[in-house]
Structure 1
Amino acid sequence: MTDPRIQALVDNLQENLDVEVKNWLNGLRGNGDKAKLAKEIIALANGGGGRIFIGFEDKKDNFFLEAEPKEGELEAFTQDAIAEIVQRYVSPPCQCRVEMVSRKGSENQHPVIIVPGKHRTPLFAKKGGPQNESPAAGKVYIRRPGGYSEEARTQDDWEKLIDRLVKARQEDMLDSIREILNPSSEVLVKDEGLDIWHDKNIEVWQQKVNEFPKDAPPPPQKWILDCYLFYQSLSSRRVDKAG
C-alpha cells in the first residue's frame, strides 16, 4: 500500500526543497544520467532528506505531466541500481529506498526514490559527471527554493548545513539517552515454567532416593544431588544479599 504522504505528493506534484521531479533519464543507461541523479540525492540528503519522482515531463500550466517510458526505462530503477549509483558517486553513501507509485485515476507506475536525511556529516560528490558535467568531484550540493540543486557556496549555505548536522547529532544523542532511560527493546523475564520443571524433577529424584533402606549406604547420585542442592542454597543467599 502506498504511503499516503507519497500519494498526496504525486497527485499534486510540485518541486520544492524536499521534492525533485525527473523524466526517465534514459533508463540510467548513460553515466551522465546517473551523475545527474546522484547530484539530486546529495542535495536532498544535505537538506534533511526528500523524494525524487521519476517519469514526468516539465510542468504545463503549473502541473507535471506523466511521460511514457521507453522500453526498459521503468525497470531500470531498481533498489540495486540506485544503490550502485550512490556507491559510485556519493560520499559518504546513504541508503535510499525505491517504491512504485501511481497517480489517482492512472495505471502508469512511477519510481519514487526516498532519500534519507539527518546525516551527521555533509554528503559530497565522490566522482564527477562525464565531460565536466555536474556534479563536480569533491563538491557539496544543497537544495534551494524552487527545487534547484546547486553547490554550497555562500556563508549562509554552510551555516544552514552545519546547523542541520549539529541538530542531527543532538537528536542522536537524545535518542540514546531516551533508550537508556526507557528501553524499547524487549526485556527478558524469568522463565517460571523452567523453574517448575526443575523443582518437579528434584522432588521426583528425592522420592527415588528416599526409597532406599535407611541403613543402606547412599548411592553416589545422592551425594551429587546433596552437593548440588547445597550449592544452589548458597547461590540463592548471595543473590538475596546482593538485592
Structure 2
Amino acid sequence: MANIEDLEQLFQLQNETLATEFKSWLDLDAPAGRAPLAKAAIALANHGGGAILIGMREVSNAPIGSYPRPAQINRYTADAVNAAVNRYADPHIHCELVHLNHPISGNEHAVVVVPGGQIVPVMAAKGTDGEILAQKVYIRKPGPKSEEPFTAEEWRTLLDRCVRANRDSLLEAIRGIVQGHSLDSIAQAQIDELLKFTEVSRDRWNERLEPLPKDDPARFPLGHYEQSFQVLNVSPAQDLRSLLGHLRKASEVRLTGWGPFVVLDRRPIGPVPVGDAIEAWVGDPREEHRDGRHCDFWRVRPDGFLYEIRSYDEDFTEKAEPGTAVDLTIPIWRVGETLLYVARLAKLFGEDPEISVRVQYDGLKGRRMSALFDWRYLSYDRECFVGTVKMQGQARASVIEDNLAEVLFPLLKPLYDAFDFAPLSLGMVSEEIAKFRNNRY
C-alpha cells in the first residue's frame, strides 16, 4: 500500500517530475478520458513507477492548481482506474488508487500509484484518436513528458531497467536457498577519513543553523540520523558541474516519495557550489512552505564523499507522539534506499568501486520501536536506553545492488539490538526491500 504521508507531499510540488504527472479530471467512462490516463500509466510503469495526481489541472496544459471534481464525473474506484489503464496496457498494470484532500483548497483528489518492476516493456495494445497509438511503448522524458523512446540510449535505459527487475526477482528467490554475508569491516584509516569528512559536513550544517531560533524545526530538536559514504579508489569528478550531473543521473531511479540527496531545482533549496563541494539545504528559512520533516541537508565532494542528515519520519505522523517512536521497518527503507542511490552514483565514478558506509542515529534515548506503518507484529514495544547508535561497513557497488539484504542486515543490527533486541531477520529485511524496489510505497 502506498505511504499516505509520502503521497501528500506531492501536493507541494511546483512542477511535474519524471515520476509524477498532473492530470485534469478525466471521464473514465469515455475513451477520451481513459486514453490519457493509460498513456501516463504506461510511461510511468516503464520509468520504474510513479504517481498520477488527478484534478491538479483544469484543462490539459493549464497551470498546476487544485480543481474540484466536476459533478458529471463519478468518484473514481480502483476497479474503474485499472479497467481504464488495462484496456490499453500490455502486459496489464495493477495500480493503486488513493483519495486525498488538498491541504489548502480542501478539494478531494485521486492519486493513481503506478508500480514499477516490469520485467518487459509495457506497450499500448490499442490506440484512440491519436492520444495513444497501438503497438507503441511510452517512457518518461525530461520536460517532463510521456513519449516513445527514439534514441539508442532511451531504449537501453528501458531494457536495462527490465533486465534488472527480472534479475532482482531471481535474486530474491535465490536468497531463500542461499544466504550470503556481504558486508565487510572498514579499515581504521578509512574510518578516520570518513569520520573527518562527516565532522566537517556536520559543522557546515551547524553553520547554516546558527541564525535560526533554538526551537526551529530545521534543527531537528527531537533527533535525526546522518549517513556518510566514501567511494573508494576512483578518479574524482571533473568538476562540480560534472558532479551535479552524476547526482541527477543517480536520482533518476525513485523508490519512495522523498528520496535521499534530493535535488530540487529552485532557490533557495537547490544544490549550490560551496568551496570544494556541492551543498543543498531544504530547511533554508527562505523556503516558504518548509516543515520539520523535510529539512534535509546534504553535502557531496567530487572525490566521492557524501553526507546527508535527515529527521525521523516517525516524528511527523499521527500514529505516535513526536520524539517517542521509531518504526520497525522505516530504517530498512531509508538506509536501504540510500545505499542503492550511492551504489548507482559510485558506478558513475568507476566500474564497480568499493563504498565505505557510516550511519549514525541520534536522539534515541527513551524512544520505543513499534510497528507503526506496517502489518508486522511486535509482541511489545522495545525501548532504547542510549542516545546514539553508530553503524559502519563496506561493500562493493554491485554487491549492494545484487545482495542488498545481506549488506543491510548486519549494518542495521546494532540499531535493532539497542531497542531491547528488537526482531530483525534477513528474511524481514529482504521482504521490505522487495516492497520498496517494486514501488509499493
TM-score bucket of the superposed structures, by smaller chain:
0.5 to 0.7
Q: For the residues of structure 1 that align with 2:32 and 2:58, how far apart are their CA atoms? A: 19
The answer to whether the 8 A contact 2:53-2:112 is kept is yes
The answer to whether the 8 A contact 2:57-2:63 is kept is no
State the partner residue of 2:117. 118
Q: For the residues of structure 2 that align with 1:46 and 1:2, how far apart are their CA atoms? A: 21
The answer to whether the 8 A contact 1:139-1:151 is kept is yes
Match of 2:139 among 138, 142, 154: 142
Unaligned runs of 5+ residues in structure 1 are: 183-243
State the partner residue of 1:79. 78
Q: For the residues of structure 2 that align with 1:90 and 1:48, how far apart are their CA atoms? A: 15
Task: Describe the superposition over 1:105-158 as per-residue Cα deviations: whole angstroms up to 9, x where unpaired.
Answer: 44211000000001000000011013xx12110000000012200011221111
2:106 is paired with a residue whose SS is: coil
Unaligned runs of 5+ residues in structure 2 are: 180-441
Higher-Rg structure is 1
State the partner residue of 1:68. 68
The answer to whether the 8 A contact 2:25-2:58 is kept is no
- TM-score in terms of structure 2 length: 0.38
Shift of 1:17: 0.8
Task: Describe the superposition over 1:162-186 as per-residue Cα deviations: whole angstroms up to 9, x where unpaired.
Answer: 110111111111111222346xxxx
1:161 paired with 2:158, answer yes
The answer to whether the 8 A contact 1:14-1:63 is kept is no
Amino acid at match of 1:83: N
Shift of 1:58: 6.5
Structure 1 residues 117 and 2 mapped into 2: Cα distance closer, same or farther (>3 Å)? closer
State the partner residue of 2:13. 12
The answer to whether the 8 A contact 1:11-1:104 is kept is no
2:177 is paired with a residue whose SS is: helix
Task: Describe the superposition over 1:35-80 as per-residue Cα deviations: whole angstroms up to 9, x where unpaired.
Answer: 1111001000000000000001269xx97211122114251x2111
State the partner residue of 1:49. 49
Q: For the residues of structure 2 that align with 1:108 and 1:58, how far apart are their CA atoms? A: 13
Amino acid at match of 2:25: W
Instruction: Please say which of residues 114-123 and 83-92 is displaced more in the overlay.
Output: 83-92
1:143 is paired with a residue whose SS is: strand
The answer to whether the 8 A contact 1:24-1:74 is kept is no
State the partner residue of 1:34. 34
The answer to whether the 8 A contact 1:78-1:98 is kept is yes
Shift of 1:28: 2.2
2:176 is paired with a residue whose SS is: helix
- TM-score in terms of structure 1 length: 0.67
State the partner residue of 1:152. 149
Q: Tell me which protein shows more helix as a share of its residues.
A: 1
Amino acid at match of 1:152: P
Amino acid at match of 1:127: K
The answer to whether the 8 A contact 1:55-1:111 is kept is yes
Task: Describe the superposition over 1:8-54 as per-residue Cα deviations: whole angstroms up to 9, x where unpaired.
Answer: 112335211100000102x2232022111110010000000000000
State the partner residue of 2:208. none
Quick one: percent identity of the two aligned structures? 36
State the partner residue of 1:101. 100
Q: For the residues of structure 2 that align with 1:139 and 1:69, how far apart are their CA atoms? A: 31
